[in-house]
């Protein structure tokens, strides 16, 4: 029997009982739709994480204090602040692979300005900071090296701080008070958005690190050092160079552990994306169970169909049809139901993903290979679970089948 004839006969047989066919396909529809939605959500989350990691800066390397050990007991990362301005100066003067270096002095205080007040982070940085972070000013200018050397009381506001303290007006030229110290606003940063952890990057005030260290923070150590390379390919070698320079700066012996940590954007991206991929696989596996349940439903209905059509099968066999023809017919019916359910499931997956994105604002990304794979898996389910009923139909004795009541 030709393939087109088999499909036509299978279609007519399936459409004889539309409600039962639809209920049979429901498991496949839910399974395929759920798999597509879960992978779309995971793909969107992965793309969002990539964008946010890239949003942190260009070719950026982050150096933070490492874990301290007291009496053989680790105190955890950042337990001892081992970074100083000397380290930043050595990296700036001795490194061949770093394009820019900025120390970061961090503190947290109340900002007063424009008749408003707002508790925010104050970061003392160098003029290299916005270049490392790829963070231009939206209005005004960023402070320069002369401001750093002179310890001038100038500040650049993040967008959130500017909109909170000076709503509806330009913050440039205004004055903010930080711990009773007046600062002149010389610039407002462009909007940066949230980090992968959900923190608002725009809720910050930047000022010269010399001013923040001496007038606001009051300590000699610095929270971190940011650096950037000339190209992404330089990052691994630059990390080794940084490690060598800082070990020398901290007078660490060969067998002594490092008291600092070096990370780059790739490390952050890999960690975040690995978590996302695991969750996507887990959710897809759970959704895939629906496909198996749908396959079991197809097998049950096909067994019922074999029983109901025993006399028809016997008549076909008696008229000369081969067992292989009967087997092909039932297999095709099973596959047609699975693929039809899969196609409806694809539409459900597309519609569900779009609706979910519109309601929640989540980013979704539908992957064409996943759609093809889901349909192929649905067809495989139809073949696997339709094989036993088809074989049973093909193995019927024509005489016994004709006598069946």
137-140/224-229 β-pairing? unpaired
Do residues 398 and 284 both lie within one domain?
Answer: yes
Residue 87 above 80 pLDDT? yes
pLDDT computed for residue 93 by the predictor: 92
Calpha distance 318→322 (Å, rounded): 9
* Distances 375 to 277, 344, 379, 388 between C-alpha atoms, Å: 21, 10, 6, 21
Residue 76 above 50 pLDDT? no
Average pLDDT of span 57-73: 68
Do residues 145 and 224 both lie within one domain?
Answer: yes
Residue 142 above 50 pLDDT? yes
Do residues 127 and 227 both lie within one domain?
Answer: yes
The model's pLDDT over 295-305, given as tens digits with 9 standing for 90+, comes to 787 788 777 77
pLDDT computed for residue 243 by the predictor: 93
Residue 403 above 80 pLDDT? no
The model's pLDDT over 1-40, given as tens digits with 9 standing for 90+, comes to 566 666 676 677 767 777 777 877 887 888 888 888 877 8
Average pLDDT of span 86-97: 93
Calpha distance 106→169 (Å, rounded): 27
Average pLDDT of span 98-109: 93
Structural domain of 133 = 81-258
Using the 3D structure, point to which of 226, 258, 290 is the last residue of a domain. Answer: 258
Phi, psi of 193 (to 5 degrees): 90, -170
Using the 3D structure, point to which of 228, 258, 288 is the last residue of a domain. Answer: 258
Contact present, 223 and 106 (Cβ < 8 Å) = yes
The model's pLDDT over 155-193, given as tens digits with 9 standing for 90+, comes to 999 999 999 999 989 999 999 999 999 999 999 999 988
Residue 71 above 50 pLDDT? no
pLDDT computed for residue 54 by the predictor: 59
pLDDT computed for residue 237 by the predictor: 93
Cα R_g (the chain), whole angstroms: 33
| Greatest Cα pair distance in the chain | 106
42-51, 56-65, 133-142, 299-308: which is most confident: 133-142
Do residues 21 and 128 both lie within one domain?
Answer: no
pTM of the model: 0.59
pLDDT computed for residue 208 by the predictor: 96
Q: How many alpha carbons lie under 13 Å from residue 259 in its C-beta half-sphere?
A: 19
Q: Is residue 319 part of a domain?
A: yes
Question: Pick the residue with more confidence: 324 or 140?
Answer: 140
| Tally of domains in the chain | 2
Beta-carbon count within 10 A of 18 CB: 9
Average pLDDT of span 279-290: 69
Contact present, 220 and 210 (Cβ < 8 Å) = no
Do residues 147 and 123 both lie within one domain?
Answer: yes
Query: Smallest Cα–Cα separation from 258: which of 268, 269, 246?
Result: 246
Do residues 221 and 304 both lie within one domain?
Answer: no
């Amino acid at each position: 029997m030709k393939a087109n004839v088999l499909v036509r006969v299978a279609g007519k047989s399936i459409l004889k009982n539309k409600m039962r066919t639809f209920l049979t396909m429901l498991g496949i529809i839910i399974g395929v739709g759920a798999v597509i939605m879960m992978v779309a959500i995971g793909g969107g989350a992965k793309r969002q994480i990539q964008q946010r990691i890239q949003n942190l800066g260009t070719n950026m390397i982050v150096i933070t204090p490492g874990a301290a050990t007291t009496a053989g007991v680790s105190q955890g990362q950042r337990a001892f602040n081992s970074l100083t301005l000397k380290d930043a100066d050595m990296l700036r003067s001795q490194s061949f692979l770093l394009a820019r270096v900025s120390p970061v002095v961090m503190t947290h205080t109340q900002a007063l300005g424009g008749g408003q007040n707002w508790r925010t982070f104050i970061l003392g940085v160098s003029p290299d900071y916005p270049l490392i972070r790829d963070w231009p000013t939206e209005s005004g200018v960023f402070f320069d090296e002369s401001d750093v050397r002179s310890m001038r009381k100038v500040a650049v506001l993040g967008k959130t701080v500017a909109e909170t303290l000076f709503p509806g007006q330009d913050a440039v030229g205004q004055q903010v008070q930080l711990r009773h110290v007046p600062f002149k606003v010389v610039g407002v940063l462009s909007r940066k958005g949230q980090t992968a952890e959900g923190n608002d990057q725009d809720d910050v005030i930047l000022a010269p690190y010399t001013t923040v260290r001496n007038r606001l923070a009051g300590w000699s150590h610095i929270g971190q050092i940011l650096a950037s390379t000339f190209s992404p390919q330089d990052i691994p070698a630059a990390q080794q160079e940084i490690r060598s320079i800082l070990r020398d700066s901290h007078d660490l012996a060969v067998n002594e552990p490092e008291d600092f940590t070096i990370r780059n954007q790739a490390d952050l991206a890999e960690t975040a994306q690995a978590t996302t991929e695991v969750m996507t696989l887990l959710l897809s596996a759970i959704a895939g169970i629906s496909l198996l349940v749908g396959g079991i439903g197809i097998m049950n209905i096909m067994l019922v169909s074999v029983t109901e059509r025993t006399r028809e099968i016997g008549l076909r066999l008696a008229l000369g049809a081969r067992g292989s023809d009967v087997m092909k017919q039932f297999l095709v019916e099973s596959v047609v139901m699975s693929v039809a359910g899969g196609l409806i499931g694809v539409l459900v997956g597309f519609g569900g993903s779009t609706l979910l994105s519109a309601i929640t604002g989540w980013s979704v990304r539908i992957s064409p290979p996943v759609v093809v794979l889901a349909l192929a898996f649905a067809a495989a389910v139809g073949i696997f679970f339709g094989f036993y009923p088809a074989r049973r139909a093909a193995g019927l004795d024509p005489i016994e089948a004709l006598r069946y009541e």
